Structure 1
Amino acid sequence: MDPRRLLVFREVARAGSLAGAARALGWTQPAVSQQVRALERETGTALVLRQGRGVALTEAGRVLLRHAEGVADRLAAAEQEIAAFTGLAAGVVRLAAFPTAAAVLLPPALVALRERAPALQVHFAEQEPPEAEAAVRSGEADLALVFRHAEDEDAVPGDLLREPLGAHPVHAVVPAGRPLPGTLADLRDEPWIAGCVRCRGHLLRCARRAGFTPDVRFATDDHVVVQRLVGRGLGVALLPSWALAASTQPGVVAVDLPDVDGRVVETLARPDARRVPGVAALLAALRAAA
């Protein structure tokens, strides 16, 4: 049984479609389909069932997938040991990260990584946590930087490994020159500015606990725009500390409120990816920079 075909089959199972596996592998869909058919001839049984645009594994396919995962783990371990033996971390690591992490955490981490592993290339894509998680799951990214709030504790299924890098406060941002709020409820009558889906959900949950529904009049993911709107007295917002560290605009004041939860920044990766030397080197640089 050709182990390369097992790895292709594993990507098909992970992606849930031939097209998704082709994207993850950088192949054409017919080439992936050909490998799966060849593997079915080798095993003498059907391994996948076509369902619309996707595929489902047969019982034999599920059995074979367990062995394919084992093969992938052994190959990744071999790669790690050989790289450790030669002392090299090279190649390409694909990273997905949310905007404020890209602005605050990535620059020092990548500078340190360049000194430690000059042959390693990091390809970066800016993505919000749900998209970054999906990119890791599909194989389009090797590592993701994401954030979660307390209510998102179980948002990531257990087939991905996550490693917290630190907790960070979320501040209420209000126009300068006004009385400062003592609790979130003090802002119940203000117009609100909300950001990404996850951030908006956090605002709604905090406001619900404080006994009100925020009047959201502006929606933008751009933290500079948020601060400029606040600075002109057009609304108030919740912003994470990293957003303010990346850029603080005039006319705004950040206030810590006891009834606003912070958030945790963490990495997400597939178990096999974390054993790749380049991924391990990037993880170490992110830990040090955090």
Structure 2
Amino acid sequence: MFLQDLEARLMAVDVRRVMIFRSVARVGSISAAARELGWTQPAVSQHLGALEREVGTPLLLRGPRGVSLTEAGRLLLARAEVVAGQLHMADEELAAVAQVRRGNVRLAAYPSALATLVPRAMAGLQRRYPEVDVKLVDAEPPEALALLERGDVDLALVFGYEPQADLGLVLRSRPVGTEPVRLIVPRRSRYARGRLTVADLAGEPWIVGCVRCRAHLVDLCHQAGFEPIERHSTDDYVVRQNLVAAGLGVTLLPDAALTAFRHPDVVVRRSEAFGRRSTSIVYRDGADLVPASAAFMAELLAAHRPLAAGAPTPA
């Protein structure tokens, strides 16, 4: 009952004070938030006090090392993150109308996309809309989705090997395309040529990647009837190829990683048995209506087509 009453009161609070509270909650200190906002500490404290009077309950616990959130504070922060995302989208819509597509787009994307797909898309956007500025964040899919949910980015470019999981009521997804996954072996490996199945690799040490990539590998090996020997682990596709070239194991990589970097001492084996990776743009509901974000999404979709057509030819 308390939480229901609190949620009802939150609907009527001052949005500006909620954003001040969000800044304090995220940095963990009233003084640090005041510096970030360019305000004085007493002014921030006054707004926090007024906000707590509005909601009728304490939101922060003050201490010598900063502040911590009460149960009510955690509830308000969750709502504040949604409000911040909506306010940013509203600001972008108004800026686009008033200034002819001028605005900002914040994108979180995984490394191989940042090295291939994203630069092409940014170049296309710059040619068409030079007043739109793109900010990039390097993030694997779970981190990118978390940034999106918090309102820290506008778009998240993510990949997966399974059908897209339910994104809930707030997030939406648009497929970009798929790419094959390749087996990477040392140039002098006995697996460098000839017929090859996943089962043939049962005794080989593997160099595994991120959480999603590892899950894909483990699933393939289980289907082939064995448990993979996980010798090394790194998200860096350049490091993984160097480890393979040194004869320290084998690995799986998607075409995008091989387009970004191809080690001369590895062999890329092609087979549908290694699966495919899909890429999607995830965004908050309504972001596709913001002109700057919509324009960048279109460029990302367009940039994928020549990359897919020009995938590296396996040795």
- Tell me if TM exceeds 0.5: yes
Residue segments in structure 1 that go unaligned for 5+ positions in a row = none
Does 2:102 align with 1:89? yes
Q: What SS does structure 2 have at the residue aligned with 1:150?
A: coil
Q: CA deviation at 1:192?
A: 1.0
Preserved CA contact (<8 Å) 2:59 2:69: no
Preserved CA contact (<8 Å) 1:98 1:128: yes
Does 2:50 align with 1:38? yes
Preserved CA contact (<8 Å) 1:18 1:32: no
Query: Scaled by the length of structure 2, what TM-score is found?
Result: 0.72
CA distance in 2, matches of 1:20, 1:121: 30
Counterpart pick for 2:179 among 168, 178, 195: 168
| Mapping for residues 2-21 of structure 1, pairs under 5 Å | 2-5=14-17, 17=25, 19=27
| Mapping for residues 1-290 of structure 1, pairs under 5 Å | 2-5=14-17, 17=25, 19=27, 27=37, 35-41=47-53, 43=54, 45-46=56-57, 53-57=68-72, 73=86, 76-77=89-90, 80=93, 83-84=96-97, 86-90=99-103, 92-150=104-162, 153-154=164-165, 156-176=167-187, 178=190, 179-290=193-304
Aligned length: 280
**Residues 251-277 of structure 1: per-residue CA shift (max 9 Å, x gap):** 322223333321111122222544433
Instruction: Name the CA shift for 1:191/1:165 in 2 (closer, same or farther; >3 Å).
Output: same
Identity of aligned residues (%): 39
CA distance in 2, matches of 1:8, 1:167: 42
Amino acid paired to 1:146 = V
Q: What SS does structure 1 have at the residue aligned with 2:253?
A: strand
Q: What SS does structure 2 have at the residue aligned with 1:266?
A: strand
CA distance in 2, matches of 1:72, 1:173: 41
Which structure has more relative contact order (CA 8 Å, sep 6+)? It is 1
CA distance in 2, matches of 1:105, 1:176: 28
Preserved CA contact (<8 Å) 1:169 1:241: yes
Preserved CA contact (<8 Å) 2:148 2:156: yes
CA distance in 1, matches of 2:133, 2:92: 17
Structure with greater Cα Rg: 2
CA distance in 1, matches of 2:92, 2:235: 40
Preserved CA contact (<8 Å) 2:178 2:278: yes
**Residues 29-59 of structure 1: per-residue CA shift (max 9 Å, x gap):** 9777754542443x46348586x9444449x
Query: Scaled by the length of structure 1, what TM-score is found?
Result: 0.78
Preserved CA contact (<8 Å) 1:46 1:61: no
Instruction: Name the CA shift for 1:37/1:242 in 2 (closer, same or farther; >3 Å).
Output: same
Preserved CA contact (<8 Å) 2:60 2:68: no
Q: CA deviation at 1:205?
A: 1.5
What is the root-mean-square deviation of aligned Cα atoms in Å?
3.8
Instruction: Name the CA shift for 1:139/1:219 in 2 (closer, same or farther; >3 Å).
Output: same
CA distance in 1, matches of 2:84, 2:109: 29
CA distance in 1, matches of 2:105, 2:205: 42
Preserved CA contact (<8 Å) 1:164 1:266: yes
**Residues 198-257 of structure 1: per-residue CA shift (max 9 Å, x gap):** 211211111111111111112222212222332343321110110111111123222233
Residue segments in structure 2 that go unaligned for 5+ positions in a row = 1-12, 62-66, 305-315
Amino acid paired to 2:131 = A
Instruction: Name the CA shift for 1:258/1:148 in 2 (closer, same or farther; >3 Å).
Output: same
**Residues 83-125 of structure 1: per-residue CA shift (max 9 Å, x gap):** 23642322x3222211100011111111111112212222212
